[in-house]
Chains A and B, each alone.
Chain A
Amino acid sequence: MRYVLLFVETEKFERELEAMSQADRDRAYQLVSNWVATHADKIRGGNKLRPAHTATTVHLDHGSEPLITDGPFVEGKEVVSGYTEIEVADLDEALRMVRTWPGCPIVEIRPLEA
């Protein structure tokens, strides 16, 4: 089955990352790279997103002019910061992968339709 892993950052996580020394931050990124390398055979793509303040959201109310707003579609302390598409046998295998994820503190696993 194919799933998308949605990586979610929290304000706390962001603050902690900023507070790190460059060397520590490099180590943290290295852990993420290692994770990607370990699971390379299951990863079908994905990317890191630019920060939430760069987002633009369009609300379509068909019939009238679309409403364009600055920022992500939900304003909150938790924002999607990246995604990865994976192909694994079942949800348990996806869970096993995610359990070792060394980055941001929340990951949503969402099955793809096809």
Chain B
Amino acid sequence: MSPRTRREDHADVTRRELARVVREHSARLAEVLVRVTGDFNTAEDLVQDAVVAALQRWPTEGIPERPDGWLFTVARHRGLDMLRRERNYRAKLAQLEWPVHPSADDRLRLIFTCCHPALPRAAQVALTLRAVCGLTTAQIARAFLMPETTVAQRITRAKRKIADAGIPYRIPDPDELSARLREALAVIYLLLNEGYLSTADRAESRDLVDDAEWLATQLRELMPTEPEVTGLLALIKLHRARADARFDSDGDLVPLELQDRSRWNRVLIADAIRLLHDAARQRRPGPYQLQAAIVACHAEASDWSQTDWEQIVLLYDMLLHLEPSPLTRLHRSIARRYTAGPRAALAEVEALSAELEHYYLLHATRAELLRAMGQPEQAREADQRALHLTTNPAERTLLRQRIDCHGNHGDISSSRRRVIVVDDSAAQPI
């Protein structure tokens, strides 16, 4: 290992440790401050200030022994200053003794307010990351490759809407809970996808998977009988289990078929499968549980040839029954190649071409099936079309290499670049 890599690893560990500590404590601080100040927006500002201060000082001073107390002291100090005119809140804040123990309801209120359906999804995501996970605006911007001003504006606008439109700080009533929970889960799922799909060099984006897992774990503790929460947590763990095997030493994507399965984290996989069994006991299947079950089929297979494709196709059928979508049909047809053969699969893929004409995966899948059927020229054309349609650098690299290889050597079915389409399924539609 070169010295450079070692230093980067160290920086990586420090960054993740800081993020973990902040995440553990900032939500609690936010919950308490909303209760004390009676105002979500003020509380959120105070927490953000404290987090920014922590990220400035902890890297050099070290993480304090009581990080929560440290954050609280900074926030209180700032709060007393900010609430100068609001005596009532000021007095309450001054009297507040740390540590406090907010209830589970406090945390649910915080999450459900950030994920309120009256806010646009992008604002729900940014607000959840800031108020619940304790990310700074700058960190969110870096993770999503966006200008910081865009994220800051988004958050300002969302908070103004919360105040002006009367978005309440409360747990939804039982009859709205399932719709509201879907919003929160969609936010977590988006974090998973963003982190999961980002390339090896985007460390801060990949950390979003940590945030997703933490949020899902919180929700599961708070709502243990909601099987979709458990299903999503299982899905996240299954993806994490394979994270290390997904990139090679050059940072290029390694397709599922060619991943070194000895590098998969068996403990995480077992954990996820236990969660899935637990969820199944509620007898309320849902899209996250089904997606996790599909990934679990891959995780449980000792190698590619042992994959239970019949079961995977069945799970896709159930998923389509709950949520019909051309993207899910495309993924199902990818699996059908192994149960019904490339010709039948290709017919199914072609049937989707009107709806998914502009989606790279449709063309990449066609290319693969055409190649399997001995039609390299048409396959190459389809690959080129796919390349034209994706901007993801890892996918582009893979496609470009495939086009080059096949152009020069005809059949190189032994190439590790052979399979692109069966990567995994985090990117699947929900």
Contacts and interface: CB of A to CB of B under 8 A. Distances in A.
Binding site of B, secondary structure by majority: helix, strand, loop or mixed? Answer: loop
B176 A89 contact: no
A92 B165 contact: no
A36 interface: no
A89 B173 CA distance: 14
B164 A92 contact: no
Interface of B: 116, 118, 164-168, 170, 172-173, 176
26 contacts: A1-B166, A3-B166, A89-B166, A89-B168, A90-B166, A90-B167, A90-B168, A91-B116, A91-B118, A91-B165, A91-B166, A91-B167, A91-B168, A92-B167, A92-B168, A92-B170, A92-B172, A92-B176, A94-B166, A95-B118, A96-B173, A96-B176, A109-B165, A111-B164, A111-B165, A111-B166
Interface in A1-52: 1, 3
Interface of A: 1, 3, 89-92, 94-96, 109, 111
A45 B168 CA distance: 24
A60 to B, nearest CB: 26
Scoring A1, A91, A95 by chain B CB atoms within 10 A of each residue's CB, the highest score goes to A91
A111 B173 CA distance: 22
B134 to A, nearest CB: 26
Contacts of A89: 166, 168
Contacts of B118: 91, 95
Contacts of A1: 166
Given A91-B118, A92-B176, 6 more contacts: A91-B116, A91-B167, A92-B167, A92-B172, A94-B166, A96-B176
B126 to A, nearest CB: 19
Closest 7 CB pairs of A and B: A90-B168, A1-B166, A90-B166, A91-B166, A91-B167, A111-B165, A92-B168
Nearest to B170: A92
Contacts of B166: 1, 3, 89-91, 94, 111
A96 B117 CA distance: 13
Contacts of B168: 89-92
A92 B172 CA distance: 8
Contacts of A92: 167-168, 170, 172, 176
A111 B168 CA distance: 13
Contacts of B172: 92
A89 B168 CA distance: 9
A107 B164 CA distance: 18
A109 B165 CA distance: 9
A98 to B, nearest CB: 11
A30 to B, nearest CB: 25
